[in-house]
Structure 1
Amino acid sequence: MTAKKRHVDAIDLTQDEGSSRPAKVGRSPQPRFSGNSMNAGQRFGQDTAFVPLSQADSIRFSQLDDDDAGADDLVQSTQNADDFNSISDSEFLTDLPTKIVGVQYYRGFATLGEHVTVKREPQNPYDSNAIRVLNVMGQQIGHIPRTVASKLAKYMDEKCVMVEGILTGVIGTYDCPLKLRLYATRNPVEQEALKRRMKQDRFPVQIRPPNRAAEAERDRIRKEAMKRGNAEEAGRQDSYTQAGRSQEAINPATLEDLINQSSTFNPRQMGQAVEKFGINESDLASMPMADTPSSMKTQLLSYQRQGLAWMLAKEAPSLPEQGSPGTVQLWKREGIRYKNIATHFATSQPPTLASGGILADDMGLGKTIQIISLIMANSKPRNPQSSSITLIISPVGVMSNWKGQIEAHVKPEHIPKILVYHGTNKKGANLSGYDVVITSYGALASEYTQSDGPPVKRSSGLYSVNWRRVVLDEGHTIRNPRSKGALAAYNLQADSRWTLTGTPIINSLRDLYSQVRFLKLSGGLDDLAMFNAVLIRPLSQGDPDGVYLLQEMMAAICLRRRKDMEFINLRLPPLKSHVLRIKFHSHEQEKYEMFQAEAKGMLNQYQTKGSGGPTYSHILEVLLRMRQVCNHWALCKDRVTKLTSMLEQHKVVELTPENVKALQELLQLRIESQETCAICLDNLEQPVITACAHAFDKACIEQVIERQHKCPMCRADIKDANNLVSPATEMGEDMGADSVDPNATSSKVDALIKILTAKGQTEGTKTVVFSQWTSFLDILEPHIKRHGIQFVRIDGKLNSKKRDQAITEFSNEPNCTVLLASLNVCSVGLNLVAASQVVLCDSWWAPAIEDQAMDRVYRLGQTRETTIWRLVMEGSIEDRVIEIQENKRLLSMTALSETENKKKGQHTAARLGDIEKLLR
């Protein structure tokens, strides 16, 4: 049916059958057009638009204690959605066929299969139950009929139901067919209660009869587990408090002996979604090449010239021509219209294309030199209002590396004028006088001020310039879309945008959403709800349309090449990896088993919520001690007992020097256990802890304090940000070992010394020894000295100058054969190809950081065969950590790790599941 043209510019209205009363008047910029047909097989993804679960509901749905209670005030982003995490953890309830009414006032296209957004409008003057329907550009199509809205509105207001919508028919004169898909919590008890309510309101939901037998069996198993756990805890010995000392001599070993005792593992088996769903290898190999810019001193390798050609093309994208069968950034040409194949939004106005993309080459393939060549090849601005300046944002530790690399690879007469915009260099800097500005994520975030309106150009600083391009080094840093750093990056003004990362997807496709939003990909995927509806949910459900969309999107915006691809031809030497399993000394075994029994007892008590039982922090504490005793018993400290007893009495502790130290130790426990921020549910990138002992990312809690001056976990008063306690060291490392007998060794220390002193090693072999605990590095030092090994050390306590000096000595001094390295500091941004051997002393949940650390050694420029050693205590928690890591690698490879939700409660439940595996 052809729609009648109307000259009423009404957009916002409450319309029921037969009613035409508009509520507000506005202007829709596009001409109206009747819907077009679409085959069922053309639908990509599920449906769109949601209302998130409330924090209170999220808490009720899961096993939580006071450490993981929900926050009432989340960090506000510029998105309409409040809780992206709850979307991924929802379960389908029912389809609700209905329609959109009042469409005679909508003047845009409405396409069969188009994803739409459903929003409550409680302030509507004509109907307090009003529910609006909008297209992906935020333009209102119409309203849900009054009869449906009157029933659905209360569930949306209570935030116990999420709603997604899709157009199921062509638009008529006054209405358009619509299907609403309703989702709710996976918790079976809460879900069944919700279904009973909805059944009374005549929603078409199916109620499952309760399985009484299964519930009784679960109760029986839970009670038995609690009894066993209490018995184990009661029977533990106090002997673990006595420091042990190994009396076993370190027998000389040959390299062949150690290899025979080990098993092999291959860290290169880790894959990413961009590898599986991006451009295939044969197409990558045949990509066109660009010439190395004449201003470059260094000649690009063939695959780097292909990368340059690809980037030049991505900075000047063009829409598909009429009749072209392909897509450009998910836009397809259909006659006079452009249609987005993800959201099915159609428009006759040419959509804006993103300029830039994701350069996701494997670590060590030269992403830096490719960007430098892009800067030298294409500095001319795309828009008259823009400058010719490139802004590079990187971690603090590699800012100087960018400046050095530009100077090393560009001919002296063509070296651009460079400013490292950081610290004292920021004061009075005239940015317009430079060609390249290098800054840090922290400096960027410090200049960002959030506002509800469009960005306002400033008179000075990073927001005073319309940049030629913005480059995010280690671009996965912005993977939390609500962090201040991510919001700051989104709001920069630039012609082109690039992110450089070897790991664009670390945990889940949520990480990729932040990249899409930064790049400003048009068509609706910059909306949290829409990204979930058309990509994350379909992929998690195995929908082939979701796979197709991901493939199309990644091919459009991402370039990923791996070292092992034949056409790359880095001619890297072989990589050999070994797991060396080590047996405990008898006294170490005794201590380990005591900690294991304590952990099992605590976990059982925590899960059954016994009165006065342990908190989640207690469980992390004992797990940490289990891991540390695998390295050396001297690392084990009871960090939380005293502080916990103080908090039970006072709820908030006074920030005396002694209490600050105790809070720092508790914060360090959270960091070492890779816990997440209780507000944004992402990694603690800038961890701080409150006087009430709750850990947050600094940017998140500062925004909450600005609004309410209360802890969002326990409502304790927080006067200002000065009352937050930061880690004891800059990089969030432990504070070093207490005095330890230098003669007191351990099984793992002995094994490390055997590797470092093994006969048969290639002459000139240098080794990087990684540990996440600087206190373990403290313990290692006297043992390494005793065996006459010259070494240097890098950790978070060193400033950048001393860090550079240590790397220079390790790289250039022949007698310096060992680098003791903190995993936190050395996992990114360093070139350690002087080494040909890596020893990983300890492991924890996420494998990506370890892989990045190994890539500091096995990368472009490595000329020796490289050996990786992973030290694992046999039959311990470390053995099971490797199993969990392999599962995470597999999830990353399939890009379906949305099952690893980080929603409050669901995240904790997932971590408890991992803990149960560790203790089995």
Structure 2
Amino acid sequence: MLDAPGAGSETLTALISNITPDDVPKEQREQTPARMKSQLKEHQKIALGWMMKKESLSSSKGSLLADEMGLGKTIEALALIVARPSDNPICKTTLIIAPVALMYQWKEEIECHIKSEYPLDVFVYHGNGKKATFDQLRKYDVVLTTFGTLASEYKAKEKDSREDSRTRNEPWPLIARGSMWYRIIMDEAQCIKNRNTLTSKATNDLQAHYRLCMTGTPMMNSVDELYPLIRFLGIRPYNDWSRFRYDISRGIKDKSESLQKKGYDRVRILLKSIMLRREKGTIIDGQPISNIPPKQVVKDMVQFSKDERDLYTAIETKAQIRVNKYLKENMVTNNYANILVMLLRLRQACCHPHLIKDLGVQVSTEGIAEEELMARAHQLGQDVVGRLKNVESGFECPICFDPTVNPTIFVPCGHTCCGECFQKLIDPAAAIGDNGERTTPRCPECRNGLSGERITDYVHFCKVHHREKLQELGIEATEEAESEEEEDDSSDSDDGSLDGFVVPDDADDGFEPLPTSAKGEATGKKKKKKPKKKSKVKGPPKTLAQLKQESLRSAAAKRLYHKRLRKGFESSTKIEKTIAILEDIYANNPEEKTLIFSQWTSLLDLLEIPLVDKKIQYQRYDGSMTMEDRAAAVGKFMKNADQRVMIMSLKAGNAGLNLTEASHVIILDPFWNPFIEDQAVGRVYRMHQTRQVHVHRVLVEDTVEHRICEIQDQKRQMVETALDERAHKSLARLGVGELMYLFGLRDRPPTH
């Protein structure tokens, strides 16, 4: 067994005893509270009763509401607030913590769903509101705040603690020793899934009689992502990391099927005791909660052309030789970043041959001059330089947890994240996963202020402080290859050469769009006027990557980039398949609308050319666009019948948008995390969708994409096994003795 009875057995037994069936007879369900304008649906009544029961239990004062997106978790939580208020006027306040954009949405939802004659007194603890003390805050029914505000207070508290501060007033009212809240509701609780971030740690300093986590995705990559939620909820004994890791995490990660099964059994029991999760298809009173037509997911498999296959095989063969060499020399860890680059190149080669040579651009730094990025790298302190030089296992974004070859580096703290997540951090429109303030974005690690004018990237860091790393990554070889190009050459020949199988100066996963109008409308019109060259010093002809970088600075540079892109344009198997899918869709129904997602915005650039040639009207949505331009693009797509396509970067368009006018989704390249793709599909497959949603996953046979899909399947299986609704229902029917046996509290199962 993984453990034996001992310390914590009583609390574990009490936790197990909390498990009860979710099925509640209609006559026994809680009714809509009198203070609410809206009438609760049946599944919401069940949720209200369930949450009230969890708060009433002596052994558990917290719960996890994990209904699928779109089923009304916010309304369910509001019902709990008004149905079970405090009877103590000194401790009556519910604190709601949410991403900044959702914080204001909460305020609107309260006004919308609570009767005016029974209003909730609401205070927004954010911006100027942060001057309030806890004595002032405790007078309100509801206090709204953000993850960023909470983390900032925790950082200040830690600083005072280190300095042995004698401050008596404790100017951090959210987490002061005397700050006892009646209830704390954490919305989008997946924002704390990294247990080591300041935000996640800060939640452990909160004090409350009752706690509620709300998230539609309680785990995405690993069962370890559940731990911060358990820690916040105070669920003993698993709010202790060593016990959680020993009893649950260790078994699930073990290669032994029996230990894996025991680990999954335990996590299901744990979740069943604290979590309520329903999906759109969950049957209540003989009917599914939502009558949205089921989505149809199709893998549209394509085969490379001969030239594409030859190029891919050459890249793959070279990669295999190098990785085998690292394995034999036991140097995989030291070359992890290089291995990520090779994977990056294989993934790009599946989409379009040009991506592996010319269009590698770091999304958050591509508009910044080379000399400026190097100057910023010079500003990093020696301790930061030493820390970054000692990173041997590659970089992982602390926000989305994806490996990144060329991360954005914050100046002066030297912490990192991927380019796409940095754009979300500094974007005031970002809602999900944005742990920073609207006015002052902050580092997710140390909470120092962030600015687009105070960043560099790893490639330019290496150019200043770590040039030997450039040679390992092949950067210098790329520069030499680029300098030999002729000015009139398209720079896009794909002759199977491996000269381009190296990282360009700004390599990363994100790229920017073709020229857009001031209103965000994509255009493919050619300009007759030849743009003037901006170069002050004569040098080698610019590559597409350089032209793309410069295209963000002026309209003339955009026209030059667009002209060069069209001049050397060659299609690819994926682009041709995408156009064929669109033509099939419109042949069946010309009124259908389609979303097209890719991780590579340069692939979207290339896709725009045949869209223009085929006279297919489209809009574009990516992280480089202003909030106003993005809103304009969404408005035109939703309201104008002739706008039939929206091309979107995966991370920019995977959350927070309602695009139900579309019923088809094309995903051009698989993402490491399948739930990011699910969120993208969720823009279309959501409440109020009346048509069947068709998802087309365009994949190249016998490539790294197949293997990525296998990894996706493993992640899905891990999460679905832990969250499986049917398994949870069956657990409710197990006796306490059987459950205790599964947790090692008995030596053998009970006899019947």
Asked whether the two chains share a fold, i.e. TM above 0.5, the reply is yes
Q: 1:305 corresponds to which residue?
A: 45
- Residues 45-124 of structure 1: matches in 2 within 5 Å? 45-46=2-3, 113-115=5-7
Q: 2:645 corresponds to which residue?
A: 818
* Letter in structure 1 aligned against 2:106: W
Which structure carries more helix by proportion?
2
Provide, for residues 722-752 of structure 1, a one-character-per-residue CA deviation record: whole Å limited to 9, x for no partner.
xxxxxx99x9944566335234432212222
Q: 2:86 corresponds to which residue?
A: 381
Change (3 A) 1:525 1:594: same
8 Å Cα contact 2:359/2:602 also seen in 1: no
Change (3 A) 1:492 1:611: closer
* Letter in structure 2 aligned against 1:311: M
Q: 1:851 corresponds to which residue?
A: 678
Provide, for residues 191-217 of structure 1, a one-character-per-residue CA deviation record: whole Å limited to 9, x for no partner.
xxxxxxxxxxxxxxxxxxxxxxxxxxx
* CA-CA distance at 1:555 after TM superposition: 2.2
Distance in 1 separating the partners of 2:140 and 2:413 = 45
Could you say what secondary structure the match of 1:615 adopts?
helix
Verify: 1:317 aligned to 2:57, yes or no.
yes
Distance in 2 separating the partners of 1:591 and 1:278 = 59
Find 1:878's aligned residue among 705, 712, 718. Answer: 705
Provide, for residues 413-432 of structure 1, a one-character-per-residue CA deviation record: whole Å limited to 9, x for no partner.
55645555555665679756
TM-score normalised by L of structure 2: 0.63
* CA-CA distance at 1:401 after TM superposition: 3.8
Could you say what secondary structure the match of 2:684 adopts?
coil
Provide, for residues 293-312 of structure 1, a one-character-per-residue CA deviation record: whole Å limited to 9, x for no partner.
33333322211111111112
- Residues 276-291 of structure 1: matches in 2 within 5 Å? 283=23, 288-291=28-31
Could you say what secondary structure the match of 1:597 adopts?
helix
Distance in 1 separating the partners of 2:97 and 2:597 = 29
Could you say what secondary structure the match of 1:361 adopts?
coil
How many correspondences in the alignment? 553
Could you say what secondary structure the match of 1:487 adopts?
helix
8 Å Cα contact 1:364/1:855 also seen in 2: no
Find 1:553's aligned residue among 263, 270, 288. Answer: 270
* CA-CA distance at 1:408 after TM superposition: 4.0
Change (3 A) 1:617 1:299: same
Change (3 A) 1:657 1:535: closer
Q: 1:448 corresponds to which residue?
A: 154
8 Å Cα contact 1:390/1:471 also seen in 2: yes
Change (3 A) 1:359 1:462: same
Find 1:657's aligned residue among 335, 357, 373. Answer: 373
Provide, for residues 269-292 of structure 1, a one-character-per-residue CA deviation record: whole Å limited to 9, x for no partner.
xxxxxxxx9979873787942212
Find 2:230's aligned residue among 500, 516, 520. Answer: 516
* CA-CA distance at 1:867 after TM superposition: 0.6
Could you say what secondary structure the match of 1:832 adopts?
coil
Could you say what secondary structure the match of 1:816 adopts?
coil
8 Å Cα contact 1:663/1:691 also seen in 2: yes
Distance in 2 separating the partners of 1:278 and 1:885 = 33
- Residues 676-691 of structure 1: matches in 2 within 5 Å? 677=396, 688-689=408-409
* CA-CA distance at 1:532 after TM superposition: 2.4
Could you say what secondary structure the match of 1:115 adopts?
coil
Change (3 A) 1:661 1:482: closer
- Residues 104-253 of structure 1: matches in 2 within 5 Å? 113-115=5-7
* CA-CA distance at 1:358 after TM superposition: 0.6
Find 1:636's aligned residue among 356, 359, 381. Answer: 356
- Identical residues among aligned pairs (%): 32
Could you say what secondary structure the match of 2:620 adopts?
strand
Unmatched 5+ residue regions in structure 1?
A: 1-43, 48-112, 117-134, 138-276, 319-352, 642-653, 665-673, 704-715, 720-727, 897-920
* Letter in structure 1 aligned against 2:219: I
Name whichever of 471-480 and 586-595 sits farther off.
586-595
Name whichever of 401-410 and 856-865 sits farther off.
401-410
Distance in 1 separating the partners of 2:652 and 2:275 = 28
* CA-CA distance at 1:591 after TM superposition: 2.6
Find 2:299's aligned residue among 571, 576, 579. Answer: 579
Distance in 1 separating the partners of 2:246 and 2:620 = 48
Could you say what secondary structure the match of 1:826 adopts?
coil
8 Å Cα contact 2:293/2:693 also seen in 1: yes
Distance in 2 separating the partners of 1:405 and 1:373 = 12
Distance in 1 separating the partners of 2:670 and 2:605 = 18
Find 2:309's aligned residue among 589, 602, 616. Answer: 589
Distance in 2 separating the partners of 1:612 and 1:546 = 30
8 Å Cα contact 1:463/1:493 also seen in 2: yes
8 Å Cα contact 1:468/1:494 also seen in 2: yes
Distance in 1 separating the partners of 2:624 and 2:123 = 26
* CA-CA distance at 1:763 after TM superposition: 5.2
Could you say what secondary structure the match of 2:652 adopts?
helix
Find 1:371's aligned residue among 73, 77, 101. Answer: 77
Find 1:471's aligned residue among 181, 185, 188. Answer: 185
Change (3 A) 1:549 1:660: same
Could you say what secondary structure the match of 1:448 adopts?
helix
Change (3 A) 1:467 1:788: farther
Could you say what secondary structure the match of 2:637 adopts?
helix
* Letter in structure 1 aligned against 2:6: E
* Letter in structure 2 aligned against 1:583: Q
* CA-CA distance at 1:557 after TM superposition: 0.9
TM-score normalised by L of structure 1: 0.53
Find 1:795's aligned residue among 622, 637, 644. Answer: 622
* Letter in structure 2 aligned against 1:566: I
- Residues 719-758 of structure 1: matches in 2 within 5 Å? 733-734=510-511, 738=548, 739=561, 741-742=565-566, 743-758=569-584
- Residues 321-336 of structure 1: matches in 2 within 5 Å? none
- Residues 382-781 of structure 1: matches in 2 within 5 Å? 385-394=90-99, 396-411=100-115, 416=120, 418=122, 421-423=125-127, 426=130, 431=137, 435-449=141-155, 451=158, 458-459=170-171, 462-463=174-175, 466-522=180-236, 524-538=237-251, 540=254, 542=258, 549-567=266-284, 568-609=288-329, 615-637=335-357, 656-658=372-374, 677=396, 688-689=408-409, 696=416, 698-700=443-445, 733-734=510-511, 738=548, 739=561, 741-742=565-566, 743-758=569-584, 759-762=586-589, 764-781=591-608
Verify: 1:292 aligned to 2:37, yes or no.
no
8 Å Cα contact 1:663/1:689 also seen in 2: no
Verify: 1:832 aligned to 2:647, yes or no.
no
8 Å Cα contact 1:287/1:306 also seen in 2: no
Distance in 1 separating the partners of 2:341 and 2:228 = 33
8 Å Cα contact 1:602/1:614 also seen in 2: no
Change (3 A) 1:286 1:597: farther
Unmatched 5+ residue regions in structure 2?
A: 12-16, 362-369, 381-392, 418-442, 449-461, 466-504, 514-544, 549-560, 724-752
8 Å Cα contact 2:511/2:601 also seen in 1: yes
* Letter in structure 2 aligned against 1:562: E
Distance in 2 separating the partners of 1:440 and 1:851 = 25
Calculate the aligned-residue CA RMSD, in Å.
4.6
Provide, for residues 829-853 of structure 1, a one-character-per-residue CA deviation record: whole Å limited to 9, x for no partner.
3333232111111113221211222
* Letter in structure 2 aligned against 1:316: S
Could you say what secondary structure the match of 1:499 adopts?
strand
Could you say what secondary structure the match of 1:291 adopts?
coil
Change (3 A) 1:418 1:660: same
* Letter in structure 2 aligned against 1:565: T
Change (3 A) 1:612 1:115: closer
* Letter in structure 1 aligned against 2:581: I
8 Å Cα contact 1:45/1:538 also seen in 2: yes
* CA-CA distance at 1:868 after TM superposition: 0.6
